Amino acid sequence: MERSFPPTMFPSFFDFLTSLEAQKENSFDAKLQLNDIRILDKIPCANGASCEKPGLQVCSSCKLVSYCSKTCQLKHWVLHKIDCKSKMMDSKWLPGYIQNFRQPSFLTSSENSLDDRRQEYFGEKHQRRFGMSMSIWGNIPAFDVICLSRNEGSQKSVSGQDFSIAFVASGDIRQLVRTVNELPKDYTGTLTILLNDGQPYVTVRNLVLLIILMTLEDSKVATEIALHIWFSAFLPSSYLHTLQSIFYPILPTIMQPFFTLWLGKRGNVKLCGALSSQSQMLLAVLTKFPKFSFKAARAEIQRVFSHPERVDLWDRFYSNTEPAHRVAFEQFRGFPVVLPFGAPRGHIDTPNPFLFSVKGEWLQNDGANPLESWDTLEAIQTGKK
């Protein structure tokens, strides 16, 4: 069952058919494209344009970037000093409305009129100016809903027990992934999971993430592609080529009213599904390269994330944020890609179709935060492994 959806976001049936045709012509060899995927399993040297070594020494002033050597740090200083010496790095930094002794815009009439509030409530105002207010990234923390090790799992006899879980209207697959990953290695039972959601963009994205994670042999490559499809506004084109390589052979199956796919490294995962016609059309379109340009998508990001009317709201947010985190958020707002601060971005040249409408509008609002609901300390611990 799916909710109604603004019709402008959907392509016509003609687009749907031509997209399938285009995929037929541009089918790719997945193995060939996988060579182009860079795995960032170490913090890179921030002098990225001319150095591919890992960053070993952190900038002692901002702690945002690392370098392989003093030489690289000196070479990169001309660029890095813009961030390292940014006004926001000063612990005494204050919001502009305090520095200038004026009322912040979120308290003045234009932002606070009854009409504006009504428009905001019904989502009209956000759609016009600050993104389209859809919730794509999810906000449910990852937790293991079976937690066998603390419950029945303590007895060896239950490692073959079957379980059934329903994630109803669950746009977030964090708990699903964690629950599966935390099953004991000797688990031999059958785990049946139901997952659904009312929002076609979310349903299709989750299907795509699960198929990527269960199809690609190299789990580092699979995680890299899935992470960026989920959270980054822009992608290297090789990620979409890989996606097409995976999906082109299975699209005819997924387009059936009810489909079954056998996936997993040992072919032991049975994925059954039924997509609505809206989701089927969306899947066909999202696995293609977007029709709007990288330049147009960057302009849309600039329009939404740097809207002049939101300066005071951002300043209020930054007033409760660590200095270096303000600078990191500024970088994210300019180019919303989930990468370490100093990581190279030059190879990222394609809008992520999963985060824009087919016309190129940013689907979420400007306050969407990819860090929401992740356990930061846990993420840092995982990064150290």
Does residue 68 belong to the site contacting Zn ion (CB under 5 A)?
yes
Smallest gap, in angstroms, from Cβ of residue 65 to Zn ion? 6
Asked if residues 27 and 248 have their Cβ atoms less than 8 Å apart, the reply is: yes
Smallest gap, in angstroms, from Cβ of residue 175 to Zn ion? 37
Smallest gap, in angstroms, from Cβ of residue 132 to Zn ion? 36
H or E element in which residue 129 lies:
helix 124-129
Does residue 62 belong to the site contacting Zn ion (CB under 5 A)?
yes
User: Of 9, 30, 43, 59, which lies in the binding site for Zn ion, with binding defined by CB under 5 A?
Assistant: 59
Tell me if residue 67 falls in helix, strand or coil.
strand
Asked if residues 305 and 297 have their Cβ atoms less than 8 Å apart, the reply is: no
Does residue 254 belong to the site contacting Zn ion (CB under 5 A)?
no
Q: Which DSSP string do the residues of 135-164 spell out, in sequence order?
A: --S-------SS-GGGTGGGSGGGGG--EE
Question: Could you tell me whether strands 163-167 and 191-195 are parallel, antiparallel, or unpaired per DSSP bridges?
Answer: parallel
The site that binds Zn ion (CB under 5 A) totals a number of residues, namely 10
Stretch that binds Zn ion, among 46-54, 96-104, 323-331, 352-360 (CB under 5 A): 46-54
Asked if residues 76 and 46 have their Cβ atoms less than 8 Å apart, the reply is: yes
Residue numbers 160-179 binding Zn ion by CB under 5 A: none
CA-based nearest residue to 371, from 336, 346, 342, 323: 336
H or E element in which residue 57 lies:
strand 57-58
DSSP code, position 308: G
Q: What is the distance between the alpha carbons of residues 145 and 183, in angstroms, rounded to a whole number? A: 10
Site mask, Zn ion, residues 81-120, x = CB under 5 A? ---x------------------------------------
CA atoms in the 13 A half-sphere facing the CB of 100: 9
Smallest gap, in angstroms, from Cβ of residue 42 to Zn ion? 12
Stretch that binds Zn ion, among 30-38, 42-50, 136-144, 150-158 (CB under 5 A): 42-50
Does residue 61 belong to the site contacting Zn ion (CB under 5 A)?
yes
Which one, 74 or 145, has the nearer CB to Zn ion?
74
- Cβ contacts of residue 184 below 8 Å, gap of 6+? 148, 149, 153, 159
Which one, 81 or 128, has the nearer CB to Zn ion?
81
Q: How far apart, in Å, are the Cα atoms of 114 and each of 105, 107, 120, 130, 248?
A: 15, 13, 10, 18, 50
Angle between helices 200-215 and 219-231 (to 10 degrees): 170
Does residue 72 belong to the site contacting Zn ion (CB under 5 A)?
yes
Which one, 130 or 332, has the nearer CB to Zn ion?
332
Smallest gap, in angstroms, from Cβ of residue 345 to Zn ion? 16
The residue type found at 1 is M
Stretch that binds Zn ion, among 71-79, 148-156, 270-278, 315-323 (CB under 5 A): 71-79
Longest CA–CA span in the chain (Å) reads 69
Does residue 47 belong to the site contacting Zn ion (CB under 5 A)?
yes
CA-based nearest residue to 213, from 177, 187, 188: 177
Asked if residues 199 and 134 have their Cβ atoms less than 8 Å apart, the reply is: yes
Which one, 85 or 265, has the nearer CB to Zn ion?
85
User: Of 30, 37, 45, 355, which lies in the binding site for Zn ion, with binding defined by CB under 5 A?
Assistant: 45
Q: What is the distance between the alpha carbons of residues 82 and 85, in angstroms, rounded to a whole number? A: 6
Stretch that binds Zn ion, among 25-33, 76-84, 227-235, 265-273 (CB under 5 A): 76-84
Does residue 322 belong to the site contacting Zn ion (CB under 5 A)?
no
Smallest gap, in angstroms, from Cβ of residue 78 to Zn ion? 13
Which one, 84 or 165, has the nearer CB to Zn ion?
84
User: Of 51, 213, 222, 226, which lies in the binding site for Zn ion, with binding defined by CB under 5 A?
Assistant: 51
Stretch that binds Zn ion, among 29-37, 52-60, 111-119, 351-359 (CB under 5 A): 52-60
Binding site for Zn ion (CB under 5 A): 45, 47, 51, 53, 59, 61-62, 68, 72, 84
